[in-house]
């Protein structure tokens, strides 16, 4: 540095780095380098220049950038992450490039074109603490945003950073959480509920078919960000209730209601549908379809296409084509698939076993049926109690779910269920990648929103978890009981033990896992009589129960302090170590 001019000044420092660089290079060195160069020239360098920054140095898989303003640095980081997120949508998940970004504001030493000082080191450490595709900023940077930027950062508490004497209070941003916030703020989207279609076939056992058509139409509509679509559980919760369309719409919080009926006779079906505007109780559109049974997919497409065109304006043909795809070419496979879904939504003792048999039959008739593989993975875990399942069952479920995503990369259900399997196998990063991909493909899937919430809670990201859970509950106000089980995790980890116990109390047919969680809740509340009653139920069902095994095998949490919170409650309740 001899002879070079040295100065000190306040600067905002941004450090960015590629997630899993070594893994990407090992898998495809040439492709990774090409993608990096393309992102750098087309996105990162223009974004830095547009926000008044200067790239100080490039370090293989990352860069160090300096700005005169913290506000500009944050705006640039968000632009980069949003741009990378959009550019990587079509890339396979295993090849997708993600960046971590850290930003700090500090006094730095400028020597020539380079920067030095603790403030630079803090920025580099914050980049390491950022989540894949996310931004981590110091508290001093966050204070600069007040009144200048509406982007919400989630508080991340104090972090002890390597070689930095004092802990640093940090804040996190992620593209997915920002999208949720934007969607909730956007109240202009048309909202619609598709009520359970009436089965007019004269045979109660044929209800699975009319229910299946309803769910397929909901799934097709849910892929459009221009619509807000209520989940099927909530639509079905009001089945057969003597309520007007306007009252149904009020209870579901929507502006439009779609009603319909299905009559199946031999190889022919008749589907009647009508779209009703709730405020005026007027029929916006009605249609009757008389088709061969083999044309059932075209009926589903016609109905969804018309609703999208009617409520959301002109939609690009390609977008419709991508959202409304035939799940299978075999009608027989489709019938077994619909029967499997019916059992999976049931609560009879043998429903999960029956679901497995139905999905296996669907795959036998169409070995390329991606969704059938994904739901077979789910139902096999369900038979064994999900996280309580033996390791070989979870491994088999992961293989099935992986095959599902390979068969149909654009099917959100496949990514969602692979994410769920990955969570139970404690592959937290993989679970997050696939669940967020599922949300991108189907932003109105309430199940996905709540499952992302549960993942975030189990990773210790409680603020994000609550945001995702609230959006899921909004889209599914009459949610299934398992939502409460997932929400109870958020309550428990934030010390709201009474709310956690109340949520767990909504679970039907509770088993030893639920009773153990209730015992921990009551013990933390000091309700020792109730805690012991729940502990006794656990030991009656599982005399060999031990707290250590329960925490290592069944309770899926990433952070040690959260496992200790459970351990403390379980031991207080009198359960054996």
**Residues linked to residue 274 through DSSP beta bridges, in sequence order:** 259, 286
CB 141 within 8 A of CB 156: no
| The predicted structure's pLDDT at residue 311 | 58
| The predicted structure's pLDDT at residue 225 | 66
The helix (run of H) or strand (run of E) holding residue 414 is: helix 412-424
Q: Round to whole Å and give the CA distance between 519 and 381.
A: 25
Q: Round to whole Å and give the CA distance between 58 and 29.
A: 18
| The predicted structure's pLDDT at residue 435 | 94
| The predicted structure's pLDDT at residue 318 | 35
294 burial (CB, 10 Å; 0-12 / 13-18 / 19+) is exposed
Quote the tokens at residue 77: 């980081």
Quote the tokens at residue 183: 């969607």
Whether the per-residue pLDDT at 45 is higher than 60: the answer is: yes
Closest to 435 in 3D by CA, of 460, 477, 405, 408: 405
Q: Round to whole Å and give the CA distance between 495 and 483.
A: 19
Closest to 53 in 3D by CA, of 62, 64, 61, 42: 64
| The predicted structure's pLDDT at residue 316 | 37
Structure confidence by residue, pLDDT tens digits, 338-355: 889 888 877 777 899 999
| The predicted structure's pLDDT at residue 464 | 86
**120-131: b or e for each residue (b if 16 or more CB lie within 10 Å)?**
bbbbbbbbebbb
CB 114 within 8 A of CB 11: no
- Mean local confidence (pLDDT), 496-506: 91
Q: Round to whole Å and give the CA distance between 125 and 357.
A: 51
| The predicted structure's pLDDT at residue 2 | 52
Judged by phi (left if over 0) then psi (alpha if -120 to 50, else beta), residue 313 lies in left
**What confidence tier does 313 reach under pLDDT thresholds 50, 70, 90?**
very low
Structure confidence by residue, pLDDT tens digits, 513-557: 999 999 999 999 999 999 999 999 999 999 999 999 999 888 999
DSSP 8-state class, residue 1: -
Whether the per-residue pLDDT at 473 is higher than 90: the answer is: no
Residue length of the chain: 577
| The predicted structure's pLDDT at residue 319 | 41
Q: Round to whole Å and give the CA distance between 453 and 461.
A: 9
Structure confidence by residue, pLDDT tens digits, 427-452: 999 999 999 989 988 888 889 999 99
| The predicted structure's pLDDT at residue 268 | 82
Q: Round to whole Å and give the CA distance between 145 and 73.
A: 11
| The predicted structure's pLDDT at residue 476 | 85
Whether the per-residue pLDDT at 177 is higher than 70: the answer is: no
DSSP 8-state class, residue 554: T
Q: Round to whole Å and give the CA distance between 298 and 444.
A: 22
| The predicted structure's pLDDT at residue 419 | 96
Quote the tokens at residue 375: 């739901």
Structure confidence by residue, pLDDT tens digits, 125-145: 899 888 888 899 998 998 888
**What confidence tier does 482 reach under pLDDT thresholds 50, 70, 90?**
confident
- Mean local confidence (pLDDT), 193-208: 82
**What confidence tier does 150 reach under pLDDT thresholds 50, 70, 90?**
very low
Matching residue, tokens 């109240």: 187
**527-557: b or e for each residue (b if 16 or more CB lie within 10 Å)?**
beebbbebbebbbeebeebebeebbeebbbb
- Mean local confidence (pLDDT), 95-107: 89
**What confidence tier does 157 reach under pLDDT thresholds 50, 70, 90?**
confident
| The predicted structure's pLDDT at residue 36 | 87
CB 225 within 8 A of CB 249: no
| The predicted structure's pLDDT at residue 297 | 74
**Of the given ranges (163-172, 354-363, 365-374, 448-457), which has the lowest mean pLDDT?**
163-172
Q: Round to whole Å and give the CA distance between 124 and 161.
A: 10
Whether the per-residue pLDDT at 317 is higher than 50: the answer is: no
Judged by phi (left if over 0) then psi (alpha if -120 to 50, else beta), residue 361 lies in alpha
Q: Which residue has the higher pLDDT, 174 or 50?
A: 50
Q: Round to whole Å and give the CA distance between 400 and 396.
A: 6
Q: What is the mean pLDDT of the chain?
A: 84
0.75 surpassed by pTM: no
Instruction: Please report which residue ranges of 195-295 form alpha helices under DSSP H.
Output: 207-222, 232-237, 245-252
Closest to 213 in 3D by CA, of 308, 277, 295, 283: 295
CATH numbers and ranges of domains, the chain: 6-184 (3.30.70.1230), 191-323 (3.40.50.10070), 327-437 (1.25.40.10)
Quote the tokens at residue 351: 């429903």
- Mean local confidence (pLDDT), 183-199: 72
Q: Which residue has the higher pLDDT, 260 or 375?
A: 375
Closest to 236 in 3D by CA, of 262, 210, 255: 210
Please work out, in degrees rounded to the nearest 5, the angle formed at the alpha carbon of residue 116 by the alpha carbons of 113 and 120.
Answer: 110
Contacts of 562 (CB under 8 A, 6+ apart): 458, 460, 493
| The predicted structure's pLDDT at residue 247 | 81
The helix (run of H) or strand (run of E) holding residue 21 is: helix 21-27
Sign of CA dihedral 540, 546, 549, 555: positive
| The predicted structure's pLDDT at residue 398 | 96
Q: What is the DSSP string of 148-207?
A: T-----EEEEEE--TT-SS-EEEEEEEHHHHHHHHHHH-TTS-EEEEPPPEE-SS-GGGH
| The predicted structure's pLDDT at residue 484 | 86
The helix (run of H) or strand (run of E) holding residue 54 is: strand 54-58
Cα→Cα distances 250→130, 232, 447, Å: 41, 16, 22
């Amino acid at each position: 540095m001899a002879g070079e001019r040295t100065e000190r000044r306040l600067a905002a420092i941004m450090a960015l780095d590629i997630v899993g660089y070594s893994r990407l290079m090992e898998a495809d060195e040439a492709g990774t380098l090409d993608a990096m160069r393309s992102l750098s020239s087309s996105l990162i360098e223009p974004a830095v220049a547009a926000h008044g920054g200067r790239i100080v140095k490039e370090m293989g898989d990352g860069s160090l950038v300096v700005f005169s303003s913290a506000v500009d640095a944050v705006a640039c980081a968000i632009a980069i992450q949003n741009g990378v997120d959009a550019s990587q949508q079509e890339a396979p998940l295993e090849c997708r490039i993600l960046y971590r970004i850290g930003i700090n504001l500090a006094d730095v030493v400028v020597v020539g074109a380079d920067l030095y000082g603790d403030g630079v080191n803090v920025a580099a450490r914050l980049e390491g603490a950022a989540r894949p595709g996310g931004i981590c900023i110091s508290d001093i940077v966050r204070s600069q945003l007040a009144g200048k930027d509406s982007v919400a950062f989630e508080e991340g508490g104090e972090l002890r950073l390597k070689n930095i004497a004092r802990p640093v209070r940090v804040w996190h941003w992620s593209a997915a959480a920002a999208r949720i916030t934007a969607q909730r703020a956007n109240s202009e989207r048309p909202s619609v509920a598709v009520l359970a279609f009436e089965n007019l076939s004269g045979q109660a056992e044929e209800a699975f078919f009319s229910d299946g058509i309803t769910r397929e139409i909901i799934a097709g509509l849910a892929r459009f960000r221009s619509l807000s679509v209520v989940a099927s559980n909530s639509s079905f919760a009001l089945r057969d209730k003597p309520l007007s369309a306007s009252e149904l719409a009020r209870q579901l919080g929507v502006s439009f209601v779609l009603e319909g009926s299905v009559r199946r006779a031999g190889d022919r079906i008749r589907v009647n549908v009508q779209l009703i505007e709730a405020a005026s109780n007027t029929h916006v559109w009605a249609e009757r379809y008389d088709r061969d049974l083999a044309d059932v997919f075209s009926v589903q497409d016609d109905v969804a296409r018309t609703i999208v065109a009617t409520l959301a304006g002109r939609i690009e043909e390609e977008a419709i084509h991508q959202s409304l795809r035939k799940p299978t070419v075999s009608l027989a496979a489709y019938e077994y698939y619909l029967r499997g879904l019916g059992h999976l939504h049931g609560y009879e003792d043998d429903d999960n076993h029956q679901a497995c048999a139905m999905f296996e039959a669907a795959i036998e008739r169409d070995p390329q049926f991606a969704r059938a593989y994904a739901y077979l993975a789910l139902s096999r875990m369900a038979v064994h109690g999900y996280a309580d399942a033996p390791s070989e069952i979870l491994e088999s479920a992961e293989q099935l779910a992986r095959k599902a995503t390979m068969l149909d990369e654009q099917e959100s259900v496949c990514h969602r269920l692979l994410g769920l399997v990955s969570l139970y196998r404690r592959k937290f990063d993989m679970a997050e990648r696939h669940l967020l991909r599922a949300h991108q493909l189907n932003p109105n899937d309430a199940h996905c929103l709540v499952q992302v919430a549960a993942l975030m809670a189990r990773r210790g990201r409680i603020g994000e978890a609550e945001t995702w859970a609230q959006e899921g509950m909004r889209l599914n106000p009459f949610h299934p009981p398992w939502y409460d089980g997932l929400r109870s995790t958020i309550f428990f980890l934030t010390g709201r033990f009474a709310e956690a116990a109340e949520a767990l109390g909504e679970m039907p047919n509770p088993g030893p896992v639920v009773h153990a969680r209730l015992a921990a809740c009551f013990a933390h509340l000091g309700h020792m009589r109730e805690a012991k009653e729940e502990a006794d139920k656990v030991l009656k069902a599982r005399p060999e129960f031990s707290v250590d095994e329960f925490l290592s095998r069944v309770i899926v949490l990433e952070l040690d302090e959260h496992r200790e919170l459970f351990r403390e409650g379980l031991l207080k309740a009198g359960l054996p170590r």
